[in-house]
Structure 1
Amino acid sequence: MIVAIYIVFFFIILRFTVTLFNFISNPKLPHIANHYTDLVSILIPARNEAENILNLLRSIHEQDYRDYEVIILDDDSDDDTYAICSQFAAEHPKFKVIKGEPLAKGWMGKNYACHQLAKHARGRFLLFLDADEKVYKRLINSAVHRMYLRKLCLLSLFANQEMDTIGERSVVPLMHFLLLNLLPLRLIYLVKKRASVAAASGQFMLFDAELYHRHQWHQLVKNKVVEDVEIMKAVKAYGYSGEALLANGMISCRMYTNYIDGVNGFSKNFMAPFNYSIPMFLMYIVLVVGGPLLIISTGDLPLIGQIIGLIILTRVMISLSAGQNTWLNLLLHPVHMFNLAVIAFLAIQQQLTKATVWKGRKIS
Structure 2
Amino acid sequence: MIFFLYIVLVFLVLRFSVTLFNFLSNPKMGNYGRSFTDKVLIIIKVHQSEEEAEKLIASLSAQDYKNYEILIQPIHSPDVVVAEKAAYFLFLDADTVIQRGFINSLIYRTTVFKLAMLSVIPTPRISGFIANCMYPLTDFVLLNLFPLRLVRLLKHPSFSMANGACLFFDAEIYRQYEWDEALKSSNQAALEIMKMVKQEKLNADLLLGNKLIYQKESKPDVAGVSGRLMLNFNQQPIVALSYLILVIGGPIAMALTLAPVFLLLPYGLIFLSRMMIAYLTAQKPFPSILYHPLQMISLTWLVVHQCWKSFLAVFKSKN
Range class of TM-score, shorter chain = over 0.9
Match in the other structure for 2:317: none
TM-score scaled by structure 1?
0.83
In the TM superposition, structure 1's runs of 4+ consecutive aligned residues that sit over 6 Å from their partners are none
Matching residue's letter, 1:353: L
| Residues 121 and 295 (structure 1), Cα distance of their counterparts in 2 relative to 1, 3 Å cut | farther
Q: Give the RMSD, CA atoms, in angstroms.
A: 1.6
Q: 1:361 is matched with which residue?
A: none
Amino acid at match of 1:152: L
Which runs of structure 2 are paired with 1:135-214 in the superposition (5 Å)? 135-192=98-155, 194-214=156-176
- Deviations for 1:48-87, whole angstroms, at most 9, x for unmatched residues? 25663111110000111111111112x3xxxxxxxxxxxx
Secondary structure of the corresponding residue to residue 79 of structure 2: helix
Following superposition, the deviation at residue 121 of structure 1 comes to 5.7
1:180 aligned partner, one-letter code: L
**Any conservation in 2 of the 1:152–1:240 contact (CA below 8 Å)?**
yes
1:225 maps to: 187
DSSP-derived class of the 2:159 partner: coil
1:271 alignment partner in structure 2: 230
Counterpart mapping for 1:250-289 below 5 A: 250-254=212-216, 256-258=218-220, 261=221, 263-289=222-248
Range with bigger deviation, 243-252 or 301-310: 301-310
Does the Cα contact within 8 Å between 2:182 and 2:189 map onto a contact in 1?
no
> Which structure is richer in relative contact order (CA contacts within 8 A, separation 6 or more)?
2
Which among 256, 279, 304 is matched to residue 297 of structure 1?
256
Give the letter aligned to residue 224 of structure 2.
G
Q: Which amino acid is 1:233 matched to? A: K
Kept after mapping to 2: 8 A contact 1:225/1:269: no
Deviations 1:266-313 (A, max 9, x none): 222322232222222211111111111011111421221211111010
Uncovered stretches (5+) of structure 2, i.e. residues with no partner: 315-319
Contact 2:115 2:202 in 1 (8 A): yes
**1 CA distance for matches of 2:57 and 2:184?**
27
The corresponding residue for 2:6 is: 6
* Gap change, CA 1:40 and 1:221, over 3 Å in 2: closer
Distance 1:119 1:51, change over 3 A: closer
After superposition, what is the alpha-carbon deviation per residue over 1:197-251, rounded to whole angstroms, capped at 9, x for unaligned? 0111111100010111121213135432221111111111111111000112100
> Match of 1:334, SS?
helix
Report if aligned partners of 2:41, 2:83 keep a CA contact under 8 Å in 1.
Answer: no
TM-score of the superposed pair, with normalisation by structure 2: 0.94
Question: How is 1:77-96 mapped onto 2 (pairs within 5 angstroms)?
Answer: none
After superposition, what is the alpha-carbon deviation per residue over 1:9-59, rounded to whole angstroms, capped at 9, x for unaligned? 001110000000000000012211110010111111212256631111100
Does the 8 Å CA contact 2:50/2:72 hold for their aligned counterparts? no
Aligned position for 1:86: none
- Tell me, which stretches of 5 or more residues in structure 1 are unaligned? 76-109, 356-364
The answer on whether the counterparts of 2:46 and 2:52 sit within 8 Å (CA) in structure 1 is no
Alpha-carbon distance in structure 2 between the residues aligned to 1:170 and 1:130: 23
1:332 to 291, 300, 303: 291
Q: 1:68 aligns to what? A: 68
The CA distance in 2 between the partners of 1:45 and 1:66, in whole Å, is 20
Aligned length: 314
> In the alignment, is the contact (CA less than 8 A) between 1:155 and 1:205 conserved in 2?
yes
Deviation digits for residues 78-129 of structure 1 (CA, Å, limit 9, x no counterpart)? xxxxxxxxxxxxxxxxxxxxxxxxxxxxxxxx3x53x623124631000000
Residues 72 and 42 of structure 1: is their aligned pair in 2 closer, same or farther, counting only changes over 3 Å?
same
1: CA distance between counterparts of 2:218 and 2:151?
27
2:4 maps to a residue whose letter is A
Of the three residues 240, 251, 265, the one matched with 2:202 is: 240
The change in CA–CA distance for 1:223 and 1:162 in structure 2 (over 3 A counts) is same
